[in-house]
Amino acid sequence: MDWQTLANGLFPDGHDIVERDNFLSGTGRIMAAEGSQTVAVIGTTEHAPIGIEIALAQAQAVLRTVKEHPGRPILILVDTQGQRLRHRDEMLGINSYMAHLGKCIDFARRQGHKVLGLVYDQALSGGFITSGLIADACFALPQATIRVMGLPAMARITKVPEERLTELAKDNPVFAPGATNYLRMGGLQALWEHELAAALVEALANVDAVDRRMLLGQERGGRHMAQAVAEAVRTGGDVRPA
Amino acid sequence: MSSYLELSARQRIPHLFDAGSFEEFLPPGARVVSPHLAQLDAPVSFDDGVVVGRGLLDGQVVFGAAQEGGFMGGAVGEVHGAKLVGMLGRAVIENAHAVLLLLESGGVRLHEANAGLIAVSEVMRAILDVRAAGIPVIVAVGGANGCFGGMGIAARCANTVIMSEEGRLAMSGPEVIETANGVEEFDSKDRALVWRTTGGKHRYLVGDCQLLVADDTDAFRAAAIAAMKDARGKGAALTLEDLQAEQGMLERRIRDFGDAPDPLEVWRRLGVPEPAAVPMLKADAFLAMAAQYRAGPGTGEN
């Protein structure tokens, strides 16, 4: 889905989102139970590779929202092919730019901003980890592609035959790309299938700042160990199988 | 003195923490292994490549972790990540004096692709929870595998990054970039270029690493104690002022060095008199030289 169609679906009462060099920013208007409300929007489009400039532009937009509009909810629209793979980005410390963006979003959360991620097209590893995955909760459109890497590349690196990975991927969400697998593992809160505007209003009414992804992954049968292991370490107990 | 680089994760712990003080949570005897590796016919490890626990550092209760580069490059899988998240959560519950992370990792464990990616993001949020509780997080990077991918991002969520010259901190590995965009983009076999681009000296000069030490466990320990005291004094939690200062530092970096073709040119623009001599300098001589030229002390992340 292109970002204009998405924005019109999310904000039928109007928005002023603009695109510049694949960076999206602006605001949208929603009709919440308590009345009309403004949502800050940042994001990327055209499967943008996340390089240092676009990471910094997103961070700046988050900081401006925190400073000028305390408490305003923030929606992160995710469409990226992952981090930009260039020597220049590494030389200038792209991990620091990504971390800065992550810290700004996390800071906004702690200042009382609700932060939602929405994968509307494609999300890949490095571009996703400090956007949708650091929001209070991340959502996706059902047709969205989410992955660390494709199975052929994974087969090359892990030295496991691709046929074997394809077979495993049928019932193990760990290996295969796709929104439903991230849903099962708790990485996504829910899929937004219809009525985007209503889904957004409902999500904003229900999210909080607690990271429940391990618990969700356990409940949904996508990650059996994470919750039990973290809990055992936290409390000094044993790992109890889910 | 002993080389930090050459030790395993498990060997580093007693060198960094006060002797005999470290208690491991979920030790190898608990036999908690990755649930995903067996079906790929990959070996498992009884600690899933990470030691987590609680010890004393300079007499203070400090929680810690050490990633084992010798097991799958220290990469983060479901169990590995959950151990880190659990330890970080417990540090908050028990109001630790600080958290010390000895990071050595290629990032997401590709054998557990989706679970690893979510796990790294959970580790990032957990690190920031610790800081928000006023507890400093100190990261050390000095292992042979460096600190890459999502863990390269996680490292920069800490209050302080301590590196040796041999340590490497970045996002995508040189091989990944070469595979994607060709040897002209990044020649992964050019070891000097790889070290100039990702090594401790460059990170120190541009402001992504706050303390540079020799490859010596005593030096890492002394730096960790100093960093802990410093961060306790200043306050560990992020403020809007910190983030605005970091925004400024990162903007200036693009403005000043955005068109530099090589780290040597970055160092030249910083005013370093003999950039070509930098890789040869020993840690002490390097620090004496670098003090007046390094970017943004006081304006970076602390």
For A89-109, the pLDDT digits (tens) are 999 999 999 999 999 999 999
Q: Is the pLDDT of residue B297 over 50?
A: no
Q: A208 — contact with chain B (CB < 8 Å)?
A: no
In chain B, count H helices and then E strands: 11, 7
Question: Is residue B247 classed exposed, middle or buried when 0-12, 13-18 and 19+ CB atoms within 10 A define those classes?
Answer: middle
Per-residue pLDDT tens digits for B247-289: 999 999 999 999 999 999 999 999 999 999 999 999 999 999 9
What percent of chain A clears pLDDT 90, i.e. is strictly above it? 81
Q: Do A63 and B108 touch (CB under 8 A)?
A: no
Q: Is the pLDDT of residue B194 over 70?
A: yes
The answer as to whether A178 is a domain residue is no
CATH number at residue B166: 3.90.226.10
pLDDT range class, residue A240, cuts 50, 70, 90: low
Positions of E strands within chain B? 23-25, 50-57, 60-67, 98-102, 137-141, 160-164, 211-213
Q: Is the pLDDT of residue B206 over 50?
A: yes
Q: Determine the distance in angstroms separating the CA of B180 from the nearest CA of chain A, rounded to an integer.
A: 7
pLDDT range class, residue A177, cuts 50, 70, 90: confident
Q: Is the pLDDT of residue B65 over 60?
A: yes
What confidence score (pLDDT) does residue B301 get? 41
3-state secondary structure of A144: coil
CA B206/CA B216 separation, integer angstroms:
23
What confidence score (pLDDT) does residue A241 get? 56
CA B239/CA B302 separation, integer angstroms:
11
CA A213/CA B98 separation, integer angstroms:
25
Q: The domain containing residue A203 runs over which residues? A: 3-141+192-208
Q: Determine the distance in angstroms separating the CA of A12 from the nearest CA of chain B, rounded to an integer.
A: 32
Number of residues in chain A: 242
Number of domains comprising chain A: 1
The answer as to whether A219 is a domain residue is no
Positions of E strands within chain A? 18-20, 23-32, 35-44, 48-50, 74-78, 80-83, 115-119, 122-124, 137-140, 145-147, 190-191
Per-residue pLDDT tens digits for B117-135: 999 999 999 999 999 999 9
Strand order in the sheet with A190-191: A18-20, A23-32, A35-44, A74-78, A115-119, A137-140, A190-191
Helices (H), A112-184: 125-129, 151-158, 162-169, 179-184
Mean pLDDT of all residues in B40-57: 96
The answer as to whether A51 is a domain residue is yes
Question: Is residue B102 classed exposed, middle or buried when 0-12, 13-18 and 19+ CB atoms within 10 A define those classes?
Answer: buried
* DSSP string over B3-49: -TTTS-HHHHHHHHSSTT--EEES-GGG----SSSGGGT----TTTT
Q: Is the pLDDT of residue B299 over 70?
A: no
Mean pLDDT of all residues in B201-219: 97
Q: The domain containing residue B193 runs over which residues? A: 9-290
Count of CB atoms within 10 A of residue B94's CB? 12
Task: List CB contacts (< 8 A) between A78 and chain B.
Answer: none
Amino acid at B112: E
Number of domains comprising chain B: 1
Q: A234 — contact with chain B (CB < 8 Å)?
A: yes
Residue of chain A minimizing CA distance to B252: A92
pLDDT range class, residue B300, cuts 50, 70, 90: very low
Compute the radius of gyration of chain B from its Cα atoms: 19
Please report, for residues A83, A98, A127, B63, the alpha-carbon distance to residue A22 in angstroms, rounded to integers and kept in the order given.
14, 17, 13, 42
Q: Which of B19, B7, B285, B279 is nearest to B140 (CA)?
A: B7
CA A222/CA B85 separation, integer angstroms:
18
CA B150/CA B81 separation, integer angstroms:
11
Contacts of B171-177 with CB under 8 Å at 24 or more apart are: B171/A83, B171/A89, B171/A90, B171/A94, B171/A95, B171/A98, B171/A126, B172/A83, B172/A85, B172/A90, B172/A94, B172/A126, B172/B148, B173/B106, B173/B146, B173/B148, B173/B149, B174/A90, B174/B198, B176/A85, B177/A85, B177/A86, B177/A87, B177/A90
Q: Which of B84, B91, B209, B226 is nearest to B140 (CA)?
A: B209
Per-residue pLDDT tens digits for B216-225: 999 999 999 9
The answer as to whether B297 is a domain residue is no
Measured between its terminal Cα atoms, the distance across chain B in Å is 28
A contact residues 43-62, partner B, Cβ 8 Å cutoff: 52-53, 56, 59-60
Amino acid at B65: A
What confidence score (pLDDT) does residue B252 get? 96
The answer as to whether A184 is a domain residue is no
The answer as to whether A127 is a domain residue is yes
Average pLDDT, chain B: 95
The DSSP call for residue A45 is -
Q: Which of A54-63, A153-162, B220-229 has the lowest mean pLDDT?
A: A153-162
Mean pLDDT of all residues in A181-191: 96
The answer as to whether A169 is a domain residue is no
The answer as to whether A225 is a domain residue is no
Mean pLDDT of all residues in B51-79: 98
Is A149:B110 a contact under the CB 8 Å cutoff? yes
- In which region does residue A122 sit, left (phi positive, over 0), alpha (psi from -120 to 50) or beta (all else)? beta
Please report, for residues B189, B204, B257, B267, the alpha-carbon distance to residue B193 in angstroms, rounded to integers and kept in the order given.
9, 16, 17, 14
Residue of chain B minimizing CA distance to A126: B150
The answer as to whether A221 is a domain residue is no
The DSSP call for residue B152 is H
Q: Do A234 and B176 touch (CB under 8 A)?
A: no
CATH number at residue A36: 3.90.226.10
Per-residue pLDDT tens digits for B228-245: 999 999 999 999 999 999
Task: List CB contacts (< 8 A) between B146 and chain A.
Answer: none
The answer as to whether B217 is a domain residue is yes
